[in-house]
Chains A and B, each alone.
Chain A
Amino acid sequence: MPQVTALFPDSRSPSSTLPAPVVPALSGVRGVPGDLMGPGALPVLPALAGLLPAGLPRGSVIATGAWGLLCLALAAAASGAGAWCAIAGLPALGVAAAAGAGLDPDRLLLVPDPGSSWPHVVATLLDGCDLVVLRPPSRPSAALRRKLESVARRYGGVLVIAGDWDGAHRRLTVTSQEWAGIGSGHGRLRARRAQVAVDGRGAAGRPRARWLWLPGPDGSVAAVASSGIGTFSGPAAGSGPAAGSGWAAGSGWAATSSWDPGEPGEAPPWPGRSAG
């Protein structure tokens, strides 16, 4: 019966109306957790792609030196893409800032006070969540660190430490920062331009640094465009938007701490202008 075959095309005779192209199209969409299932790495925000070109490798430990918006920025892309995140040991977390950075509050587990048995709590959270942000209540011993690292490797989770962690795969720090939009008695806090440096173990751990809006005027995290750097005279000047990966690796930018972000008298670049 030709009508029936036309209505129900079977798999042996694929018709052009079959929804075959839907699946690859969906898998690239943000929010569909299909792209998290792989064994590789969790995605990072485009602004951080220059610092972490490989994303957050599963099973790795990332240290950020201290608690701050940088921890949330690291988790933002993965959370936005469907991963569950747990944040432990941070009773003063600003959830609005997390949402502004891109985390999905619906997929957030908070353990404000993990107590004295926090390693067990963290191990359990690593079992269930793709990414765990932890501020260790106490300085962990080397054995404990190795144990937690192996837990992260076994479950394929990523442990972001809001503090120091010897032996972390990557270590990101804010080396310099400047608030924009506020003066002496006028204006308000609009954005923070922060220089984030990364170093780490292995071949991929070459020191790099990037200027980020951390946060930008709407709370999100973005790369500072080269035109927004204003008076800075670095290799990035005139080399197009710094949001890409246009920075030459190993170009001497590891010495970030000694780098002067600009003249103090210079008015900070207005975020709205730099964005436009």
Chain B
Amino acid sequence: MRAVLAIVRKDLLIEWRTRETVVTTAVLGILLVTVLAVAHDPTPAAAPALVAPVVWAAVVFTGLLGVERGFLLEREQDCLGGLRGAPIDPTALYVAKLLVNVLLLSVTQAVVVPLTGLFLRVDLWHAVPSLVVVLFLGTVGFAAVATLFAFVTVRLRTRQVMLPLLVLPLLMPLLIAAVKATEAVLGPGLGTARDAVGVLVSFDVIFVTAGLLLFPAIIRD
């Protein structure tokens, strides 16, 4: 626990000082939402159906950028070697990075999601509590997979290509469920999307557990 807190504190201090991850992902998110909203230019009746796919497309692309940037911190000056040379449980590093990624991606979503509602002229306020639940469940699952594979690809020269190639196919069940749950939140209510929420929760449990189990072997060399 001490190591998890130390790593989280360190990452947040660096982010507070540089603001690199939040600013770059937020700018990318704003651009994506703008392009998608302008490209579709939906009628008022069709706009609500676009919110969920636009939000989750933005979550995926900003998330991939954010997670990768987070690991470049550890690559510079071989800080990852410094962490691996410390007497800490390797899973502490995974848990800390997962927490930081969920937190920073949530900050980006706090910018991108309201803008999506604004650009598509859809009122999201009535659905905020349920929307937060779905976004949180989706973000945890996304970060669990992306954090694990960011460590796998961190030393590859082709990591910018490899990370999406490895992560996106695995994320398909999560994305389908997240879009369905978001549509339900903006329509008949979250209660009508129990299956989708079940998939999100199961995905989170399975991939966080897989991350904890696989991470020590991945980080060893």
The answer on A and B forming one complex is: no
- Interface residues of chain B, those whose CB is within 8 Å of chain A, are none
